[in-house]
Amino acid sequence: MNKKYSVLYLIKTFVLVYFFSSCSILKQGQELKTFTYCDFSVKDVNIISIAGVNVAGYDKVQELSMNDYLQLAKKAFSSDIPSELEIEINAKNNAEKRAYISGLDWQLYFMDDLYTEGVISEPVEVLPKQSSSFKVVATVNLLKILHSKSLPELLKLVIEKNSSIDLSELDVTLKVKPWYQSGSNIKTYPGYISIKP
Nearest partner of 135 among 87, 175, 103, judged by Cα: 87
Gap between the Cα atoms of 125 and 131, Å rounded? 9
DSSP assignment letter at 165: -
Average pLDDT for runs of 10 along the chain of length 197: 52 43 62 95 84 78 80 74 88 96 94 90 96 93 69 69 54 90 84 90
Predicted local confidence at residue 181, as pLDDT: 86
Q: Which helix (H) or strand (E) holds 145?
A: helix 142-145
Domain that holds residue 138: 3-195
Secondary structure class of 67 (helix, strand, coil)? helix
Predicted local confidence at residue 106, as pLDDT: 97
- The tally of domains found in the chain comes to 1
Predicted local confidence at residue 119, as pLDDT: 96
Partners of 124 in the β-ladder = 101
Helices (H) and strands (E) in the chain, counts: 4, 11
Predicted local confidence at residue 52, as pLDDT: 82
Predicted local confidence at residue 66, as pLDDT: 84
Cα–Cα separations (whole angstroms), residue 168 to 42, 44, 164, 195: 10, 12, 11, 11
Predicted local confidence at residue 21, as pLDDT: 45
Predicted local confidence at residue 33, as pLDDT: 93
Question: pTM for this one?
Answer: 0.74
DSSP assignment letter at 33: H
User: What is the CA 125 to chain-centroid distance, rounded?
Assistant: 13
